[in-house]
């Protein structure tokens, strides 16, 4: 039986090869995209018993502005949540920071989670060594993942081993080794330690608006969620903490807290600008996979339909020999399913070769799950195989033997068959053109993000983030001089404001309007910072070393007037008319001393990602060697040497000065490249899908051109006898094949426009959606379609009429 089926497929090897190639590529793309969608939609599902777990997000609702959601909330609410809502079974505070870890003479930087002792009742991570119930019983107890246990101790049986964290002199004892969370987990906790006793003085514990990490609650009974959600809407005013009610109203408006289900955090963060991969993007990638499979399936059905008429005489002979219609239907359906099964196997092999490359484009760690892939391939074989075999089987099995055997040529399927094939080609190219348009738009947006003006000089600049370590307070001057002495360094400055690190924020107001607060991000910078980053001064001046009121150290609330510099966005947020009008104006922070005098205004800096709005900035002056008690990094300008060599030189100087703190540095160019990297790589992924879809459609069009030209040779001969020129015949045939390609734009353009408009709306700065990507994709499809059919049509148009009529 199988041998007979394979012999039937081998009767037309070219059509079978085209069918197999197109279907294999389509299945490979679909399976790869399905794995990506499964990876993204499966975020946090690998952690057990998180169904009743929620993260509390903070909502700011200031008048005249859209509500602003912050991923996480101040810990002010933690002591009162169970008291106010008995249905809340537990509350967990979590602060994740990168900390130096000392194991013997080895010093490295590791993620460390400071949490309440109830951590393992919230996150039931699989224990490999130790007991989760008592893991954080003592103040010096810690839990570590298996990866860190193997890294430092060479075994997962590390209970009882010790390590030091940061500059804490006491040894921390490992009481639990847990299995690392899966790659698609929002939180990778690293070393888990108890929140220290001094946390009671943390600003995140006393003040609303200060967020150091997520705050989780557990609600076992989901029926209580609506009442809890309603009670959290105005929760800040209910428990103001160290804030006044007026301050809360001025700073955060009528805001509150909102519980976000743990398994929805991944896409929720993207919606509020705290993540990079949105649900929309994953939906589009899923549509890419479906479009590729649908295009390949259409191609399979189209060629099977076209080739069916070539087997009409075979069917007639089989009927004469006693074959029933039911047996013929089974035979043709089986052939289609066998071909689909072979294509599925080839597609699986192509997918396995592609997933490692594709995974690097989006940070996905994809694997071929046998169960998932088996179910998907079985469904594809059934649906596509039956869909491809149904129409030919029904049409062919209905042929009457006598007319077919008496005819001098085999039936071509009639006008109905020709219209069906044209419709299928239109759908194929519609998907392909739509993907090509999306690719061009995403590529243009990624290029725009990469090239857009950020208000800073990005080349030749390195941020040494390890300088913010608390243990280096009394070594700031020595480190600055050591790094400044490195050959090739032209300047070293200090600031806690730099690309992707603008964390501190408070409410400020003009001295004359103390109850009209504006939320501004603030930080410190030394006098040379403006020149180092190439900031554009719009009015006034920058901080100067010889002016005492400019540089006051990092204690912001000294009882005196201090100088500050604002960005253009901060001036607008405070309601000042222009940068020039801001000079000399007095500003206060939450009605507290000191009074701040504006001495300068700089142009806006885009230090955050392209999806977020430009942040309004307020700078305090900082002495170059001040013992800053805040996370102040060092910024190094260099020239005449490559960035990797300069980082290596800086590391050597660092080790000589501060060997007990791990060195960490990154170029500003590399930091900012991350903003466009994901969009650029996703655009490349779309390009691959579009290219494969166009290739599949072109294969199908090539197969149909072979079939159609062979069926119309007699017509072409008659036309030429009646006086038609080669050019007339060529134009007739090319127009016949390219008409579906042109009609495909009626499908592709509106769908691509709607998808790309939704996608672009996720950016604060974005390109305009112009007609050019649509025109370019359409012209490319036309050229590809023309190149696909021109060889066949030109050969048919040039053929002498006598030969065409003789071959009738």
Q: 148 with 208, same domain?
A: yes
Q: What is the pLDDT of residue 189?
A: 93
Last residue of a domain, one of 389, 411, 433: 411
Inside any domain, residue 798: yes
Q: Hey, what are 718's tokens?
A: 């008659």
pLDDT for 601-626, tens place per residue?
Answer: 999 888 877 777 788 999 988 888 77
CA 165 vs CA 143, 146, 200: distances in Å: 13, 18, 20
Q: 32 with 172, same domain?
A: no
Q: What is the pLDDT of residue 226?
A: 92
Q: What is the pLDDT of residue 256?
A: 86
What is the spatial distance between Cα 632 and Cα 467, in angstroms, rounded to a whole number? 7
Stretches in the chain below the pLDDT threshold 50: 1, 4-5, 410, 412, 557, 559, 808
Residue 640: give the domain boundaries. 470-660
Inside any domain, residue 17: yes
Q: What is the pLDDT of residue 591?
A: 53
Q: Where are the beta strands (DSSP E) in 434-504?
A: 461-464, 489-495
Q: What is the pLDDT of residue 91?
A: 95
Which has the closest alpha carbon to 307: 330, 328, 336, 334?
336
Inside any domain, residue 172: yes
Q: Where are the beta strands (DSSP E) in 36-158?
A: 53-60, 68-70, 90-103, 106-115, 127-130, 141-145
What is the spatial distance between Cα 596 and Cα 585, in angstroms, rounded to a whole number? 8
Q: What is the pLDDT of residue 559?
A: 46
Q: 323 with 391, same domain?
A: yes
Q: What is the pLDDT of residue 47?
A: 86
Q: What is the DSSP letter of 277?
A: S
Q: What is the pLDDT of residue 248?
A: 75
Q: 47 with 81, same domain?
A: no
If residue 528 lies in a helix (H) or strand (E), which one and from where to where? none
Which has the closest alpha carbon to 616: 136, 62, 28, 55?
62
Q: 111 with 176, same domain?
A: yes
Q: What is the pLDDT of residue 1?
A: 45
Q: 442 with 582, same domain?
A: no
- Contact, 27 vs 280, CB < 8 A? no
DSSP code per residue over 579-611: HHHHTT-EEEETTEEEEEEEEEEE-----S-TT
Q: What is the pLDDT of residue 731?
A: 67
Inside any domain, residue 487: yes
Buried (b) or exposed (e) across 733-742, using 16+ Cβ within 10 A?
bbebbbebbe
Q: 492 with 639, same domain?
A: yes
Q: 625 with 596, same domain?
A: yes
Q: What is the pLDDT of residue 780?
A: 84
- Contact, 511 vs 606, CB < 8 A? no
What is the tally of structural domains in the chain? Answer: 4
Inside any domain, residue 247: no
Inside any domain, residue 465: no
Inside any domain, residue 805: yes
β-strand pairing of 172-178 with 518-525: unpaired
Inside any domain, residue 62: no
Last residue of a domain, one of 616, 635, 660: 660
Q: What is the pLDDT of residue 178?
A: 96
The angle formed by the CA atoms of residues 535, 539 and 540, to the nearest 5 degrees, is: 95
Q: 18: buried, middle or exposed (CB in 10 Å: 19+, 13-18, 0-12)? A: buried
Q: 488 with 629, same domain?
A: yes
pLDDT for 735-747, tens place per residue?
Answer: 766 788 788 888 8
Q: 366 with 432, same domain?
A: no
CA 373 vs CA 8, 242, 351, 420: distances in Å: 29, 55, 10, 32
Q: Is the peptide bond before 697 cis (omega within 30 degrees of 0)?
A: no
Q: 499 with 631, same domain?
A: yes
Q: 656 with 679, same domain?
A: no
- Contact, 105 vs 92, CB < 8 A? no
- Contact, 412 vs 396, CB < 8 A? no
């Amino acid at each position: 039986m199988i041998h007979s089926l394979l012999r039937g497929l081998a009767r037309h090897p070219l059509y079978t090869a085209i069918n197999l190639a197109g279907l294999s590529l389509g299945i490979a793309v679909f399976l790869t995209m399905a794995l990506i969608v499964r990876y993204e939609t499966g975020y946090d599902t690998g952690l057990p018993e998180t169904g009743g777990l929620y993260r509390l997000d903070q909502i700011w609702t200031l008048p005249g502005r859209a509500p602003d959601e912050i991923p996480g909330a101040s810990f002010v609410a933690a002591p009162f949540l169970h008291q106010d809502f008995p249905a809340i079974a537990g509350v967990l505070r979590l602060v994740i920071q990168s900390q130096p870890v000392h194991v013997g003479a080895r010093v490295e930087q590791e993620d460390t989670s400071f949490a309440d002792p109830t951590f393992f009742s919230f996150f039931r991570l699989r224990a490999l060594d130790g007991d989760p119930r008592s893991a954080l019983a003592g103040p010096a107890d810690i839990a570590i993942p298996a990866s860190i246990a193997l890294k430092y101790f060479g075994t997962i049986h590390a209970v009882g081993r010790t390590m030091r964290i940061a500059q804490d002199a006491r040894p921390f004892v490992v009481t639990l080794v847990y299995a690392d969370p899966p790659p698609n987990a929002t939180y990778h906790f690293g070393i888990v330690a108890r929140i220290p006793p001094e946390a009671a003085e943390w600003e995140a514990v006393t003040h609303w608006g200060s967020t150091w990490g997520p705050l989780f609650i557990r609600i076992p009974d989901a029926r209580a969620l609506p009442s809890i959600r309603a009670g959290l809407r105005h929760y800040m005013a209910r428990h103001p903490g160290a804030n006044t009610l007026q301050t809360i109203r001025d700073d955060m408006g009528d805001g509150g807290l909102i519980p976000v289900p743990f398994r929805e955090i991944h896409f929720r963060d993207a919606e509020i600008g705290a993540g990079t991969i949105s649900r929309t993007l994953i939906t589009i990638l899923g549509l890419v996979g479906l479009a590729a499979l649908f295009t390949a399936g259409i191609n399979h059905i189209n060629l099977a339909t076209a080739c069916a008429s070539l087997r009409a005489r075979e069917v007639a002979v089989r009927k004469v020999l006693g074959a029933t219609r039911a047996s013929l239907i089974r035979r043709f359906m089986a052939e289609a399913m066998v071909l689909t099964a072979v294509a599925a196997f080839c597609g699986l092999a192509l997918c396995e070769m592609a997933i490692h490359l594709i995974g690097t484009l989006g940070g996905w760690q994809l694997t071929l799950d046998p169960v998932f892939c088996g179910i998907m391939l079985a469904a594809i074989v059934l649906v596509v195989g039956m869909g491809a075999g149904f129409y030919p089987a029904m049409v062919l099995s209905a042929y009457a033997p006598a007319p077919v055997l008496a005819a001098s040529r085999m039936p071509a399927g009639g006008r109905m068959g020709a219209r069906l094939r044209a419709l299928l080609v239109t759908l194929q190219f519609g998907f392909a053109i739509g993907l090509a348009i999306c690719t061009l738009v995403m590529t243009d947006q990624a290029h725009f993000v990469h090239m857009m003006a950020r208000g800073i000089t990005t080349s030749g600049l390195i941020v040494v983030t390890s300088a913010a370590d608390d243990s280096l307070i009394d070594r700031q001057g020595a480190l600055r001089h050591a790094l400044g002495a490195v050959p090739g360094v032209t300047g070293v400055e200090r600031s806690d404001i730099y690309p992707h690190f603008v964390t501190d924020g408070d409410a400020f107001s003009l001295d004359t309007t103390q109850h009209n607060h504006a939320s501004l991000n603030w930080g410190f910078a030394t006098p040379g910072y403006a020149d180092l980053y190439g900031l554009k001064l719009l009015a006034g001046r920058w901080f100067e070393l010889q002016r005492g009121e400019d540089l006051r150290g990092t204690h912001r609330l000294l009882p005196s007037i201090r100088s500050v510099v604002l960005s253009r966005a901060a001036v607008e947020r405070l309601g000042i008319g222009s940068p020039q009008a801001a000079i000399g104006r007095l500003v206060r922070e939450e009605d507290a001393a000191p009074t701040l005098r504006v001495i300068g205004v700089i142009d806006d800096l885009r230090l955050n990602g392209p999806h977020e709005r430009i942040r309004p900035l307020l700078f305090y002056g900082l002495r170059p060697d001040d013992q800053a008690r805040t996370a102040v990094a060092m910024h190094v300008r260099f020239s005449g040497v490559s960035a990797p060599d300069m980082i290596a030189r800086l590391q050597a100087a660092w080790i000589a000065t501060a060997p007990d703190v791990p060195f960490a540095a990154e170029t500003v160019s590399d930091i900012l490249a991350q903003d466009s990297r994901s969009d650029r790589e996703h655009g490349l992924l779309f390009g691959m899908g579009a290219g494969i879809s166009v290739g599949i459609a072109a294969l199908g069009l090539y197969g149909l051109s072979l079939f159609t030209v062979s069926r119309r040779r007699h017509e072409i001969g008659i036309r030429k006898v009646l006086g038609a020129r080669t050019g007339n015949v060529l134009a007739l045939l090319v127009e016949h094949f390219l008409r579906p390609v042109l009609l495909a734009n009626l499908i592709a353009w509106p769908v691509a426009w709607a998808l790309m408009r939704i996608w672009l709306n996720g950016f604060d700065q974005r390109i305009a959606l112009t007609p050019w990507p649509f025109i370019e994709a359409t012209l490319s499809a036309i050229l590809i379609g023309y190149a696909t059919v021109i060889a066949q049509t030109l050969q048919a148009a040039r053929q002498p009429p006598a030969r065409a009529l003789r071959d009738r």
